[in-house]
Amino acid sequence: MAGAGAGSLEAQRAVVTGVVWRGGPRPGPLAAAWVVLHRVAMSGGAAVDSVRSDPRGRFRLAVSRPDTSAIYLVSTWHGGVAYFSAPLPLPPHGTRSADTLFVWDTTSVGPPFGISRRLLTVARPKRDGTRDVLEIIELNNADMRTRVAPDTIRPTWAGAIPRDAIQFQAGQGDFSAQAVTRRGDSVLVFGPIQPGGPRQLTYGYVLPATDRPVTVPIDQPVAELDLLLEDTTARAGAPALVALGVTAIEDRRFARYRAGPVRAGAPVTIEFPRGPFRFERLVPVIAIVAAGALAVGMIIALKKKTSDLGHQTSDV
């Protein structure tokens, strides 16, 4: 009976195997690294097993009665940086091999990152004339070490966004929202950037209502620049820009443009059509005119009062 019970438990047991590999100039297996198996479900996440890698970098993790609706991740730490495997859906039982878990030494200096792609998606104007913008940037680290921020002031990477952008918000990607912030007209990344790529950075902001062309700053070379404009009557400008027609994305239509490679400092603009007349556009003008009229009235009143005083003095 006891043997039958043990066999039943084993039949409900899933095993994850893999290798921790140290990259860099002298690559090889990483021994004695703590490796953790995580379960991530709609109800939350938790560590379900952990073990140290053997002298060949190998590990073996197990979970009883795996949740087939959840995903599982394998992680390890090296040089103060956490490294994760790709998501692993587990079968109810049996063995699943994880991809090799690569780790790297760290540095805060190195060659500039490459931008393999920058995508700007600009929505139609809202009632107040503002437009939501979503940017996706793909970063590539050509170094053989993970780049980390030297301190809390200097970021791992920085890139320019339109100066007039408001309501900045970090999005979902390979960097947590806590590792991405805005300073002036720049986006700053303070999270580690591993070798290879691409590592996807996502963020959004709002462009204020304007009748002037919007300049998209290109402060570093971009291998491929893509623009998606929901206002298909808008006009985009960039060196060697190619119009790719109109495409449907989730029941919305966007005009597509592509350019690349794009050098740093290249002029990239988006010109939107003039929107319908809105009374609120006149508010600043009315305020200025009213202030001017009030100032003129005060001057006239002051001159009249001075003149009246002069007449009273002469009568005396």
Q: Is residue 42 part of a domain?
A: yes
Average pLDDT, the chain: 87
b/e 89-118 (16+ beta carbons within 10 angstroms → b): ebeeeeebebeebbbbeeeeeeeebbbbbb
Residues 28 and 160 grouped into a single domain: no
Residue 280 has pLDDT above 50, yes or no: no
Residue 291 has pLDDT above 80, yes or no: no
Residues 127 and 33 grouped into a single domain: no
- DSSP calls for 148-161: --SSSSS-SEEEE-
Among 75-79, 160-164, 171-175, 273-277, name the one with the lowest average pLDDT: 273-277
The count of structural domains within the chain is 2
Residues 40 and 179 grouped into a single domain: no
Question: Per-residue pLDDT tens for 181-193?
Answer: 999 999 999 999 9
Work out the number of other CB atoms within 10 angstroms of the CB of residue 202.
18
- Cα separation, 268 vs 256, in Å, equals 14
Asked if residues 136 and 200 have their Cβ atoms less than 8 Å apart, the reply is: yes
- Cα separation, 163 vs 76, in Å, equals 40
More confident residue, 12 or 287: 12
The domain boundary residue, chosen from 103, 130, 148: 103
The mean pLDDT of 281-297, rounded to a whole number, is: 47
Burial of 11 (0-12, 13-18, 19+ CB in 10 A): exposed
The domain boundary residue, chosen from 103, 127, 159: 103
Residues 166 and 95 grouped into a single domain: no
Residues 254 and 155 grouped into a single domain: yes
CB within 8 Å of 182: residues ≥ 6 apart: 161, 168, 188
The mean pLDDT of 80-100, rounded to a whole number, is: 91
Residue 287 has pLDDT above 80, yes or no: no
Q: Which residue has the tokens 């053997």?
A: 54
CA distances from 52 to 21, 48, 173 (A): 13, 14, 29
pLDDT score for 6: 47
Question: Per-residue pLDDT tens for 142-178?
Answer: 999 999 999 999 999 999 999 999 999 999 999 999 9
What's phi and psi for 58, nearest 5 deg? -85, 150
pLDDT score for 313: 42
What's phi and psi for 80, nearest 5 deg? 80, 10
Asked if residues 117 and 228 have their Cβ atoms less than 8 Å apart, the reply is: no
- Cα separation, 275 vs 233, in Å, equals 11
Residue 255 has pLDDT above 90, yes or no: yes
- Cα separation, 9 vs 1, in Å, equals 13
Residues 95 and 8 grouped into a single domain: yes
Rg of the chain over Cα atoms, rounded to whole angstroms, equals 30
Domain that holds residue 266: 114-271
Q: Is residue 234 part of a domain?
A: yes
More confident residue, 304 or 91: 91
pLDDT band at 211 (very low <50, low <70, confident <90, very high): confident
Residue 301 has pLDDT above 60, yes or no: no
Residues 124 and 234 grouped into a single domain: yes
More confident residue, 274 or 136: 136
Residues 84 and 198 grouped into a single domain: no
Q: Residue 147 CA to chain centroid, in angstroms?
A: 17
